[in-house]
């Protein structure tokens, strides 16, 4: 009988009764064949591997992370509450010590959901990894967390959520934004003024295969992780780098995903994208599960896998090699100034227009960080959906100084008195005080 080296919990939630639309890539069928494959392999009969059902996240879990306008219930469907609840369940399994590793195989995904949300972007409405990480910090105290995003699309949402957080290292490797949605994710996006070098983007050329990904892992990701020494490693496990994925142009394989996972050794993996639902997902999910459990995955091969034809050209490999040095340096010698925002008095201010592709509207947003000497700073957001009412959000970080905390409350009071805003939300992580006003 097989026995897993690491006790692995798999939270499998295919949401067999939910889809954006019947023919949307992110639809009911997505995890069907994965379920068939895991069942047929008898994965859950292996000693040490156990299947769990997800929990349902609470609105508070969402509002601890996001500024939601008009409110969380209006943006997140029940399905989102369950997929983020699945990630929370994974966290509980690890934090309680019931399992050594956990894999949340849930849908819908979340890594395009930003700090402020007014709707759905890139199949994502709420950021399920961030909701999980902040759940962990709320219940189990401060933690240094590294999130490694291996989805083919830039994890722009997660980047945005943690832009100002020096305790969260976010590394995204993805197909170059010049060739794929969402069009961001370049090395110069290195983090906000208080978290420079904590946001690492690795844009890879189309056609990158197993050797290219492993080169990045060995030369960028692992050395940075060794230095950052996180308490927890999270893998945003998007699987659309696969050579058969219909909406991307990469050449990664199930063997490659498993090998990457073996090296990374994440405590928790959370499924993100991956739309080759027949040719890739069953094999990649199996490979990752086996790698996480510490079981031989060398027999996992998808149909049509031919390492020779998938291999990168030497130009691609040379290009990736040249990326490696420069990008590693962003962490070890971070730039002096953030690439985004201007300093205005004591505030660092960013004006942005964010397009919600799933729903087709644009949000205009002004985000300001109070530059504080003593803590990571107070965050303030003013936002307006096209022709919609104004929203206001203010966040007091967990380790906020007394001054920032008080400023936070007086800004909230001021906002209420001015009555410029239809909706207002306060996230006070210091005192676990979460307030919302508006109608």
Judged by CB under 8 A, the residue of 282, 294, 341, 397 near other proteins is: 282
Kindly provide the b/e burial profile for residues 95-132, where b requires at least 16 CB atoms within 10 angstroms of the residue's own CB: beeebbbbbbbbbbbbbbbbbbbbbbbbbbbbbbbbbb
Comparing CB distances to other proteins, the nearer of 10 and 237 is: 10
Q: How far is CA 221 from CA 176, 264, 267, 340, in A?
A: 17, 8, 16, 24
The whole-angstrom separation of Cα 293 and Cα 134 is 25
Q: Could you tell me if residue 162 is left (phi over 0), alpha (psi between -120 and 50 degrees) or otherwise beta?
A: alpha
Comparing CB distances to other proteins, the nearer of 28 and 138 is: 28
Asked if residue 406 lies in contact with residue 33, where contact means CB atoms within 8 angstroms, the answer is no
The whole-angstrom separation of Cα 237 and Cα 229 is 21
Asked if residue 296 binds other proteins (CB under 8 A), the reply is yes
Judged by CB under 8 A, the residue of 162, 213, 283, 392 near other proteins is: 283
Active site residue 351: no
Token readout for 96 is 């309680």
Closest CA to 251 of 213, 288, 283, 219: 213
Comparing CB distances to other proteins, the nearer of 24 and 178 is: 24
**Listed ranges 8-16, 112-120, 210-218, 327-335: which one lies at the site for other proteins (CB under 8 A):** 8-16
The 71-110 contact track toward other proteins, x by CB under 8 A, reads -------xx--x----------------------------
Comparing CB distances to other proteins, the nearer of 110 and 192 is: 110
Comparing CB distances to other proteins, the nearer of 135 and 297 is: 297
The label of the residue with tokens 């957001």 reads 381
Minimum distance of other proteins from residue 50's CB (angstroms): 10
Asked if residue 18 binds other proteins (CB under 8 A), the reply is yes
**Listed ranges 120-128, 289-297, 311-319, 320-328: which one lies at the site for other proteins (CB under 8 A):** 289-297
Rg of the chain over Cα atoms, rounded to whole angstroms, equals 21
Q: What does DSSP assign to residue 114? A: -
Q: Of 66, 80, 111, 112, which is the active-site residue? A: 112
Minimum distance of other proteins from residue 82's CB (angstroms): 6
Q: How far is CA 294 from CA 2, 10, 101, 200, in A?
A: 11, 14, 10, 28
Rule CB under 8 A: which residues touch other proteins? 1-2, 12-18, 22-23, 27-29, 32-33, 35-37, 39-42, 45, 51-54, 56, 78-79, 82, 246, 278, 282-283, 286, 290, 295-296, 298-303
**What residues are labeled active site?**
112
């Amino acid at each position: 009988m097989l026995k897993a080296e690491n006790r692995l919990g798999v939270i499998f939630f295919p949401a067999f009764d939910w889809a954006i639309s019947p023919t949307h890539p992110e639809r009911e069928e997505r995890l069907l064949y994965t379920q068939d494959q895991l069942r047929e392999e008898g994965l859950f009969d292996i000693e040490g591997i156990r299947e769990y059902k997800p929990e349902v996240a609470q609105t508070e879990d969402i509002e601890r992370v996001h500024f939601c306008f008009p409110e969380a219930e209006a943006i997140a469907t029940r399905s989102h509450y369950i997929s983020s609840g699945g990630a929370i369940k994974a966290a509980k399994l690890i934090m309680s010590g019931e399992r050594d590793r956990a894999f949340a195989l849930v849908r819908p995904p979340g890594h395009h959901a930003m700090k402020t949300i007014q709707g759905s972007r890139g199949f994502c409405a709420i950021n399920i990894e961030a909701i999980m990480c902040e759940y962990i910090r709320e219940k189990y105290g401060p933690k240094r967390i590294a999130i490694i995003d291996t989805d083919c699309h830039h994890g722009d949402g997660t980047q945005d959520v943690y832009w100002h957080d020096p305790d969260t290292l976010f590394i995204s490797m993805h197909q170059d934004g010049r060739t794929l949605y969402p069009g961001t994710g370049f090395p110069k996006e290195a983090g906000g003024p208080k978290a420079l070098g904590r946001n690492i983007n690795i844009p890879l050329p189309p056609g990158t295969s197993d050797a290219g990904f492993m080169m990045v892992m060995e030369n960028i990701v692992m050395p940075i992780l060794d230095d950052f020494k996180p308490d927890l490693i999270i893998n945003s496990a998007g699987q659309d780098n696969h050579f058969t994925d219909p909406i991307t142009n990469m050449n990664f394989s199930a063997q490659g995903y498993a090998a990457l996972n073996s090296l990374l050794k994440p405590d928790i993996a959370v499924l993100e994208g991956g739309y080759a639902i027949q040719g890739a997902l069953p094999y990649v999910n199996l490979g990752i599960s086996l790698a996480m459990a510490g079981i031989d995955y060398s027999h996992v091969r998808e149909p049509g896998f031919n390492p020779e034809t998938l291999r990168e050209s030497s130009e691609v490999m040379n290009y990736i090699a040249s990326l490696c040095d420069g990008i590693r340096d962003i962490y070890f010698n971070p730039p002096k100034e953030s690439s985004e925002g201007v300093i205005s008095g004591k505030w660092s201010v960013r004006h942005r227009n964010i397009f919600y592709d799933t729903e087709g509207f644009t949000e205009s947003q002004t985000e300001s960080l109070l530059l504080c000497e003593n803590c990571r700073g107070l965050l303030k957001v003013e936002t307006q959906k096209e022709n919609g009412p104004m929203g206001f959000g203010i966040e007091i970080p967990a380790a906020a100084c007394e001054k920032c905390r008080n400023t936070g409350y007086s800004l909230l009071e001021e906002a209420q008195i001015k009555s410029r805003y239809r909706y207002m939300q306060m996230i006070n992580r210091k005192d676990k005080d979460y307030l919302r006003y508006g109608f």
